[in-house]
Structure 1
C-alpha cells in the first residue's frame, strides 16, 4: 500500500490534506447538449493513511448500491479519521437517468474495462475511471444488485486464493461470501490486474431499495474502514450477528415450465434436498408444478418475478461450502 502524498490531484483538481471537494467526472453531454455531471465526492483527513474508493451504479438500474454509497456520504461516514475516502455513487449516470442497466450505446460498462479513450461511450468512461481515479486508490468497494427481478442475499464476491481479500470479506461481515472468478473486461478484474484489492458487494434487485440490504452494505463499509484505522470516532462498527458463510460452489435451479411463479423458500434460508422451494402454475388451473431443492444448501438468490419462462433462473443455491475459514 502506498500512502498518499501531501496533495492529491484528480481530474486536474488538487485536494489538500483535511480538505473536502466535489470533482466533476464529465465524459459526454446528453444528445440535447445538456451537460451531465458525475460528482466525485472526496474527503481527506489531515492524517496520512490509505485511500478507499466507494463506487456504485456501474449498472444504472442498480439503485440499492447507489443508496448504500449515498448513505455513506449523507451520514458522514466518508469523513475519514486518517487517509482519504473517494465516493462515486453513480458511475453510469446515463443508465441511472432512465433506470436501465446499459449505456445509451447499448453496452454493459462492466464488460468494457479497462476501456479506450477512442472507443464507445461506455469504453471511454471505463478508461477515464481506470486512468484518472484508480491509480490514486489503495482499496475499492463496489456495490451492485441482482438483475431482472432476481433478489440477491447480501454477499461479497471474491476470487479464491487471495488472502487479503478473504480477510477483508470476513471483516465486511455480509451473510455470505461467494467465491467467483473475475470476469474478463470487468471492473473487478481490471482492479485485480492493477493490484487494487476490490470487494464486490451484491444485494437486493434492480430498481428497488431494501433496508436490510442497505444496512448490510453500510455496516460492512464501516467495519472495513475501522479495520483500516479510518472510521471516524463519531461512528461505531457493529459486530455481525452471525459468521460469514463462505460458498465455494453454487448452482441455479431453473424453471422446467413457463407460467406463473411463486417462491416459498426465503432468501438467506438453509434448505434440505427435496424441500419445496416454490411452484409454477398456469392461468387456467391445469398446471401446478412444485419446484424442489436438488440439494441441501443456502438460498442466496430468489427470482421475484410473477411470470417465468422455461429455463429462467429461479433460485441460486449453494452446493459446496468452504469450512476452512
Structure 2
C-alpha cells in the first residue's frame, strides 16, 4: 500500500510563477548544468481546470532515449482532444533532459536515473535531478503515470506495470485498458516505486521502441490516459471522444526471458503481442550463409511481451520476453480473444506496426523429439 503522504506542495505556485484556474502555463525548472556551466532547464506544463480536483502527473523519458511517451505528452499539449474541467495536469515530456540531449538512456555521470530516486539535494548529478522530480512533480501529484519504452534494440508490446495490492494503483492500471498488466512493485530506486512509497499511486506503461515516436503506440497511450482522466472525473467524455476499450485484460504475476543458446542470425516466427504455446517455435537461428544452428522454442504458454529487434545474437542473449498467465484456462481465454480481434481495432494496429520492426516468417512445426525446452531467467 502507498505510505501516508507528507503535505503536498501547492499547485498554483511554482517559485516566482503562479498558475490560475483555467490556465495553462509553461514552467522551467533548473535541472543541472553542462560541463561549461550553462544551466540545463527542465520544461513542463501545468494545466489547471476551472474546478478543483485531483492532480495527475504524466511523465516520460526518465530514460533519456525512451521518447514514445514524449510524443504522446506533446500531443496532449499541442492538440488536446478534451477540455480539462476539474483538477490539474502536470505534463513532463522529458524527465531525463540530461540524457535526452545526448540521445542516451543514462545521465552524463553514467548513472541510471530510474534507479536513483528519491535522490538527494546534495548528491550526484543524477541524484539531484531525481530529488528535483520528487519534490517539484511527485510532491504536488495525487496520481502519476510514467511512460516508458523498451531498451535500445528491443520493442515492447504495450503493457502496464503496477502494484495491484495497492487499491489506487489497481484502479489506474485496470482503467488504463492495456491488454496485459504486470503485477509488481517495481525496483527500488525507480520513480514508480519511490513515488508510491511517498504516497503517490503510480503506474507505468511500457510500449514500443527507444528513439522512436510510433503512431499506434501514441494511440494506445492517449486512449489509456483519457480513460484515467475520465475515471478521475477530470474530463467529460463525449460519445465522439469516448475511446474503445481492450476486449480483454490479463493480470500476470511473472514473466520469463527466452535466450539464444548459440550465436547466429535469427528468423523470427512470432511477433510482439502473439500468444505462444509451450514447445512452439519462436525463432530459427542460422549462420550467415543460411545453415540452421538451432530452433528456439517457447518454454511456456504466454503472450509475447517484448523481443529483440536485433537478429544477430550471441550465446545467452535475450530474444523474447513472455508474460505468463496464472492458469491454462486464462491462457486459452486470452488466446481466443486475441484470435478474435477485429482488423480495425487499435490492438491489431499496434500488433501490425510493431511487427514491421522485425521480419516474421511462417510458423514451423517440429516433431516432439526435435523440441528441446530450456529454462530461462530474467534479462
1:228-260 deviation digits (Å, cap 9, x = unpaired): 111255772312141222112211111111121
Question: Does structure 1 residue 264 correspond to structure 2 residue 269?
Answer: yes
- The answer (yes or no) to whether the contact 2:264–2:293 under 8 Å persists in 1 is no
Question: Does structure 1 residue 291 correspond to structure 2 residue 296?
Answer: yes
1:62-118 deviation digits (Å, cap 9, x = unpaired): 011211111121222585210111101001112112211000000010011110111
- 1:89 is aligned, of 87, 93, 104, to 93
- 1:133 is aligned, of 137, 141, 149, to 137
Question: Does structure 1 residue 40 correspond to structure 2 residue 16?
Answer: no
CA–CA distance in 1 between the matches of 2:255 and 2:180? Answer: 12
CA–CA distance in 2 between the matches of 1:225 and 1:130? Answer: 22
- 1:310 is aligned, of 298, 315, 319, to 315
**Higher Rg:** 2
* 1:112-261 correspondence runs (5 A): 112-231=116-235, 236-261=241-266
TM-score normalized with structure 2 length: 0.80
Shift of 1:54: 0.6
1:3-47 deviation digits (Å, cap 9, x = unpaired): 999962124422122222111011223223443222110111121
2:352 corresponds to:
none
CA–CA distance in 2 between the matches of 1:167 and 1:282? Answer: 48
Aligned residue for 2:181, secondary structure, equals strand
Aligned residues: 323
CA–CA distance in 1 between the matches of 2:81 and 2:144? Answer: 15
CA–CA distance in 2 between the matches of 1:29 and 1:6? Answer: 27
- The answer (yes or no) to whether the contact 2:162–2:181 under 8 Å persists in 1 is yes
Shift of 1:184: 0.9
1:250-291 deviation digits (Å, cap 9, x = unpaired): 111111111212322011111111111111112143443111
CA–CA distance in 2 between the matches of 1:46 and 1:160? Answer: 32
- The answer (yes or no) to whether the contact 1:77–1:232 under 8 Å persists in 2 is no
- The answer (yes or no) to whether the contact 2:301–2:325 under 8 Å persists in 1 is no
- The answer (yes or no) to whether the contact 2:286–2:293 under 8 Å persists in 1 is yes
The 3 A distance-change label for structure 1 pair 182 and 236 is same
The 3 A distance-change label for structure 1 pair 232 and 85 is farther
CA–CA distance in 2 between the matches of 1:3 and 1:26? Answer: 23
Shift of 1:174: 1.1
The 3 A distance-change label for structure 1 pair 16 and 2 is farther
TM-score normalized with structure 1 length: 0.93
- The answer (yes or no) to whether the contact 2:8–2:139 under 8 Å persists in 1 is no
CA–CA distance in 1 between the matches of 2:288 and 2:11? Answer: 65
CA–CA distance in 2 between the matches of 1:229 and 1:4? Answer: 20
- The answer (yes or no) to whether the contact 2:10–2:140 under 8 Å persists in 1 is no
CA–CA distance in 2 between the matches of 1:310 and 1:193? Answer: 39
Aligned residue for 1:123, secondary structure, equals helix
CA–CA distance in 2 between the matches of 1:151 and 1:210? Answer: 11
The 3 A distance-change label for structure 1 pair 100 and 211 is same
Shift of 1:138: 0.4
- Name structure 2 gaps, 5 residues minimum: 331-379
1:321 corresponds to:
326
